Structure 1
Amino acid sequence: MRTHRTATALLAAGALVLAAGCSSSGGKEAEEAAQSKGQGGGGVVADTPRMKVAMVTHSGEGDTFWDIVQKGAKVAAKKDNVEFLYAANKEGKEQAQLVQTYIDQKVDGIVVTLAKPEAVRDVVKKAVAAGIPVVTINSGGEFSRAFGALTHIGQDESVAGEAVGEELNARGKKKAVCVIHEQGNVSLEARCAGVKKTFKGAVENLNVEGTNMPASASTIQAKLQATGDIDAVVTLGAPFAAASVQAKKGAKASAEINTFDLNADVVKQLKAGEVGFAVDQQPYLQGYLAVDELWLNKVNRNVIGGGKPVLTGPALIRQKDADALAELTADGTR
């Protein structure tokens, strides 16, 4: 019975992919494609027992990146007959408490970020010991296996930073500031360290209060006014690109603004030449694959990537790429 049900579910998942692939012909196929992106009801649902998956991230208030992660997770959850739960706290201690809450609820799987790995290490190991499979996403991938997770889904932050440094070299930049919006976040620090590793010019880290956007913009503006030879600003999250564009105007500076991550505003800024390039780590894919991995592991004992990190980035997005992404960012999937 289980083998038949699993096979049926996996065939259903394949049918959903095929439906999306035929969307260009319109009619029913187009409707199903829209449903697969979370735009409508219905669609193919796995014929497997209902399961419950919880995601706990380090998101601060107003960070649109995590809206995209959740959108991907919810689409996978709908397809996989999964009840999806979400909670977040930017403080490591509180994040660990949220994970413990879901352990107490005896969920079937947990997705967690490792931005502050030491704070959540013990509770992640506790979940694994309790028989709850864990998938880590987005940050702290180097700690994932040691903590007992099935796999890590995200980009290699050091490699992403190195790609930014190389792009700055290609653009002839000489002095950059790397804006860290959450102190103690190992992934953000790794990004800036990667930039420093490959950039031939000078790089200085600048800490801002990430949960206070006006204050962040003010800090960046003050830095640009005080250090007139900065010719590149690298922000580590899409909302901070807009803050930096504002700060640049206020400081009457000429520095190029570049950023990690995408949202609709960044795509518009790329088209307008207000942002030079962006680094896309595909947050939709991180959420989708994390939920899908827990479902696949439950029903078929699959492990995506064989336990190795599954990379979703980095991909450099430049002005010429913006038009192709405009519709997707408006839809909230990129």
Structure 2
Amino acid sequence: MNSPLPSSPPPRPAGADRSARLTVLAVACCLLLAGCSGDGSSGADGASGSGGRMTVALVTHGAEGDAFWELVRKGAEAAAAKDGVELTYASDADAAGQAGLVQDAIGDEVDGIAVTLAKPQAMRTAVAAAKTAGIPVVGLNSGIDDWRSTGLLEYFGQDESVAGRAVGARLTGLGAKHALCVIHERGNIALEARCAGVKKTFTGETEMLYVDGTDMDAMSAAVTARLRQDAGIDEVIANGAQFALAAVKAAKRAGSKAKVATFDLNKDMVGAVRDGTVQFAVDQQPYLQGYLAVDALWLYRTNGNISGGGVSPVLTGPAFVTKSNVSDVARFAANGTR
């Protein structure tokens, strides 16, 4: 005797198959999201390999309270905020001290280091130690001729020699005859390269004057004394906005007719260029340098990107700011970002 056939299942309500598929899909999506989120870190947060926020140390040779370096720092902080990076900033004008700060960052096991190379030789050992520790290092502001040989991954800044040559050519066009190029930090390769560049293209006489940039009174007194000694000096070239403004006062005290021009820009310099107190400023965009350096480390960590392919620097200057175009940057300078 044959077994009875099983009874047919009851008919499924209309739309039940579609509801079931949607339920399965929803569960799968939840599992996928849970797997992606892991412990809550993500690439968008600049996550490090350990799952926490990416940490970056910015180490410069800037003097404390220097307006230029405040712009660099602001740019770096803006990039860190965007990328979810934990940023620390430290500086030391002494090369050995700066190298020590890099060693401190290595000891803190940061995920990336951005560093200036005002005195490259003094930084080589520290940079090598970072590489040995597996920490990527990028350069900014100083060291455009040495960043690759020092072992940096990328570089962001101005070609100081090119900037200097551009200034020399401009001074020739303005009819200057004797330029005094004031170097406020002896041995700083960026400042030396600027003045050397001026000398290459300026058809008049270029004279270097070394002063102590950490003592503004002494710096101003040295410029005043030199202008009094030689009434033929008709141009003073400063290597920073605050030094240019001090040079303007020094020229007045000396009874000199010398005009003043400068490398670098800040809010006060915008006003000086606007009213003609300073002929022009060469802007290397320090805010951009700080921003790009931090953002580059985040991009390298999260996406393997290397700006310039690791062989070419990313240039942020030079750009001349004159009376005719100063209004274009004035509102940004007022915001403290130029």
Q: Which residue of 2 aligns with 1:318?
A: 322
SS in 2 for 1:257: strand
- Name which of structure 1's ranges 145-154 and 174-183 shifts more when overlaid on structure 2: 145-154
* 1:233 aligned residue (232, 236, 250): 236
Q: Which residue of 2 aligns with 1:66?
A: 69
1:97 matched to 2:85? The reply is no
State how 1:149-298 maps to structure 2 within 5 Å. Answer: 149-298=152-301
Q: Which residue of 2 aligns with 1:16?
A: none
Q: Which runs of 5+ in 1 are unaligned?
A: 11-45
Q: Which residue of 2 aligns with 1:26?
A: none
Instruction: Among all aligned residue pairs of Structure 1 and Structure 2, give the percentage whose two residues are the same amino acid.
Output: 54
Q: Which residue of 2 aligns with 1:142?
A: 145
Deviation at 1:328, TM superposition (A): 1.1
Contact 2:64 2:91 in 1 (8 A): no
Q: Which residue of 1 aligns with 2:11?
A: none
CA RMSD after TM alignment? 1.8
Contact 1:61 1:211 in 2 (8 A): no
Q: Which residue of 2 aligns with 1:117?
A: 120
**Per-residue deviation, residues 241-285 of structure 1 (Å, max 9, x unmatched):** 110011011111111100000011111110111100110000010
Larger helix fraction of residues? 1
Deviation at 1:9, TM superposition (A): 7.8
Q: Which residue of 1 aligns with 2:131?
A: 128
Structure 1 runs (4+) deviating above 4 angstroms are: none
* 1:327 aligned residue (327, 331, 335): 331
SS in 1 for 2:56: strand
SS in 2 for 1:55: strand
Q: Which residue of 2 aligns with 1:15?
A: none
Separation in 2, partners of 1:254, 1:272:
17
**Per-residue deviation, residues 293-319 of structure 1 (Å, max 9, x unmatched):** 000000000001111110000011111
Separation in 1, partners of 2:197, 2:119:
18
Deviation at 1:48, TM superposition (A): 3.9
SS in 2 for 1:332: coil
Separation in 2, partners of 1:250, 1:265:
20
Separation in 2, partners of 1:161, 1:111:
25
Deviation at 1:195, TM superposition (A): 0.4
Separation in 2, partners of 1:129, 1:162:
38
Change (3 A) 1:269 1:108: same
Q: Which runs of 5+ in 2 are unaligned?
A: 1-31, 48-52
SS in 1 for 2:329: helix
Q: Taking structure 2 as the reference length, what is the TM-score of the superposition?
A: 0.85
Q: Taking structure 1 as the reference length, what is the TM-score of the superposition?
A: 0.86
Deviation at 1:324, TM superposition (A): 2.2
Amino acid at match of 1:192: C
